[in-house]
Structure 1
């Protein structure tokens, strides 16, 4: 099955926001648990350890990346079950993301926002987040995980085209 990209770019005062969405037939509290409980994040992103709280950092193991490296992730805001803001700094730069949950049509919509300084690299970033969000869907549905090759470089051109809109 081919991935269905949902990403869109929105210009902001400080750069651009890359926004991707997924819908779930589940209450926000259950989706929130998939985003925040280490045994559940391990199924689609990676497990984490530490004391999670706003202003604190946790260590996340990126099990779906080559070498399964650990990275530090700061919790900038946590308002269960609606809003989680995270940031990290690594060799790729600084990353600022938000996960926003809202009730939609008897289920829950996840809006994933990656705040970017500019659109550079969106051809790599967008397909990566599509992959991870589809891993979340597969983990929740109990379906097979997609291969990263279906996302990158397959979706790179589609994301680069967003910068021209």
Structure 2
């Protein structure tokens, strides 16, 4: 639900994973297409160009960020239609993410994982991912996209109070 933060932090190796989950009333292949096809990803995140194969780097436009900048994104793992691991580099640093899709009857669960080196800035990062994932849900449903104002700064306190559990 828009406006309700869902992210959780989990200890992982030498860092922390920020995990957010969304459920779609759609087959896994359809949700996969929504995150991997350039014309569909443009509706919620931004268009991309290049050869999207493991080990390759594509260019992605951050269509819903100020100035709509382009950044590089390396495809680390691509296992259609279940797992996509990406490493993005931009002015804010390096972002290691995974999108994991699991069929659940007539639905598909999307588990988004951001592998964090540090929880510094989680009050900004968490609301941003909530916003983008809700944009994906809206794009998939053909609904109006949410406004970022519903996420930040409203969700900042929620994410700042999260702590990774003991391992």
Query: When the two structures are superposed, what TM-score results if normalisation uses the length of structure 2?
Result: 0.95
Residue ranges of structure 2 left out of the alignment (5+ in a row):
none
Q: CA separation in 2, counterparts of 1:43 and 1:164? A: 32
Q: CA separation in 2, counterparts of 1:12 and 1:80? A: 24
Q: CA separation in 2, counterparts of 1:105 and 1:8? A: 25
Q: How does 1:39-54 map to 2 (within 5 A)?
A: 39-54=39-54
Q: CA separation in 2, counterparts of 1:8 and 1:106? A: 25
* Other-structure match for 2:148: 148
What secondary structure sits across from 1:127 in the alignment? Answer: helix
Change beyond 3 A, Cα 1:2–1:107 = closer
* Other-structure match for 1:81: 81
Deviation at 1:164, TM superposition (A): 7.2
Is the CA contact 2:2–2:134 (under 8 Å) kept in the aligned structure 1? no
Aligned pairs, number: 165
The runs of at least 4 consecutive aligned structure 1 residues that moved more than 3 Å come to: none
Q: How does 1:83-122 map to 2 (within 5 A)?
A: 83-122=83-122
Q: CA separation in 2, counterparts of 1:3 and 1:104? A: 25
CA RMSD of superposed structures (Å)? 1.3
What secondary structure sits across from 2:3 in the alignment? Answer: coil
Asked if 1:10 corresponds to 2:10, the answer is yes
Q: CA separation in 2, counterparts of 1:70 and 1:89? A: 10
Q: CA separation in 2, counterparts of 1:25 and 1:5? A: 20
What secondary structure sits across from 2:144 in the alignment? Answer: coil
Query: When the two structures are superposed, what TM-score results if normalisation uses the length of structure 1?
Result: 0.96
1:101-154 Cα shifts (integer Å, max 9, x gaps): 001242100000000012111110000000000000110111111110110100
